[in-house]
Amino acid sequence: MFESKSGVLLVAGLGFFAFAFLSNALVPALMYRDLPEQTTTELVEKNSNLMYQFENLSHRYPEQFAKHVGEASQENCAEILELGRRVYTGEGCWHCHSQFVRPVSREEDRWGPVSKTEEYQNELQRPVMFGTRRVGPDLSREGGRRANDWHAVHFFQPTMVSHDSPMPSYPWLFEGSPDKPNKRGIALITYVQWLGSWLESYPYYENFEPTPLPGDEPAGEGEESAEDAEVATAE
Partner 1 sequence: MIDVQPADRSAPRHADLVDERIVLTYFLIALGYLSLSMLAGLLMAMQLIRHNPLNGFELMSPGRWRMVHTNVIAYGFLANAFLGALHWSVPRLMLRPVLDWRLSWFILIAWQVVVLGTGVGIVLGPTLQANIPALESLPFALGAQGLEWGETPVWIDPLALAGLLLVAVNFMAPITKSRGPMYVTAWYFMAAFVWTFLTYAMGNFLPQYSLTGTSAGAVGGLFIHDLVGLFVTPLGWGLMYYFVPVMLKKPMWSHGLSLVGFWGLAFFYPLNGIHHFLYTPIPMFLQYGAIVSTIAVEMVVTTVIVNFFATIWGSSRALLTNLPIRWFYTGMIFYGITCFQCALQTTLTFQALIHFSDWVVGHAHLVMFGVFSMWLLGIMTYLFPRIWRTEWWSRELCEWHYWLSAVGLFVMALDLTLAGVFQGYYWASLQPWEVSVEGSQPFWVVRVFAGLAMMAGQVCFFVNLYMTWRLSREAGVSRGVPEPAPQAHLATQGTN
Q: How far is the CB of 43 from partner 1 (least distance, A)?
A: 12
Contacts of 95 (CB under 8 A, 6+ apart): 131, 132, 133
Look at residue 74 and give its three-state secondary structure.
helix
137: which DSSP letter? Answer: -
Query: Cβ distance 142 to 127 under 8 Å?
Result: no
Q: How far is the CB of 201 from partner 1 (least distance, A)?
A: 18
Q: How far is the CB of 41 from partner 1 (least distance, A)?
A: 15
Q: How far is the CB of 92 from partner 1 (least distance, A)?
A: 3
Comparing CB distances to partner 1, the nearer of 56 and 144 is: 144
> What span, in angstroms and rounded, lies between the C-alpha atoms of 6 and 29?
30
Comparing CB distances to partner 1, the nearer of 28 and 62 is: 28
C-alpha of 207 from chain center = 20
Query: Cβ distance 96 to 133 under 8 Å?
Result: yes
Comparing CB distances to partner 1, the nearer of 25 and 219 is: 25
Comparing CB distances to partner 1, the nearer of 42 and 123 is: 123
